[in-house]
Amino acid sequence: MSTPSVLFVCLGNICRSPLAEGALRAVAARAGVTILIDSAGTGNWHVGDAPDPRAQAVAARHGVDISALRARQVRAEDFHRFDHIVAMDRDNLAELRRLAPADAPARLSLMLDHVPGRKGKSVADPYFGDASGFGATWEEVLAGAEGLLDRITQPRR
């Protein structure tokens, strides 16, 4: 069986998706599960940039270091490289559906689809708010990461 793979996607790849990447790395490591994990943005404004300092700070408070991550833009080959492509909000999901090659095997979903009672909801973008918004974002992506890990590791029914 091949290693499962997940790509998290938000708009600029400096807030929500790197936090989601860090959260899934942490929960997978605790569970002893190997997963290929990456993140990207639908936009190109921040390509090459480190995550927002507020995102780095909230991750660090939870024992997760995302400082080495660098923003990149979604590429066509991502739809073939990753089993799961998980969008942070409905706009990003719509853009991913538009970009996806017709033969792409990746399963597209929203982050909060993996949290009971939150299906179809978006992770709020904390970028334009203060640091407290990043705490709420961390809680949402952590819950989504835990639910996604359960989905990946449970046998298909």
Is 61 marked active-site? no
Is 16 marked active-site? yes
Q: Are 36 and 3 in contact (CB under 8 A)?
A: yes
Of 52, 78, 89, 125, catalytic:
125
Of 15, 16, 25, 78, catalytic:
16
Is 15 marked active-site? no
CA distance 117 to 153: 20
- What's the order of all strands across the beta sheet hosting 84-87? 36-41, 5-10, 84-87, 107-110
CA distance 115 to 94: 20
Of 10, 15, 52, 113, catalytic:
10
Which residues are known to be catalytic?
A: 10, 16, 125
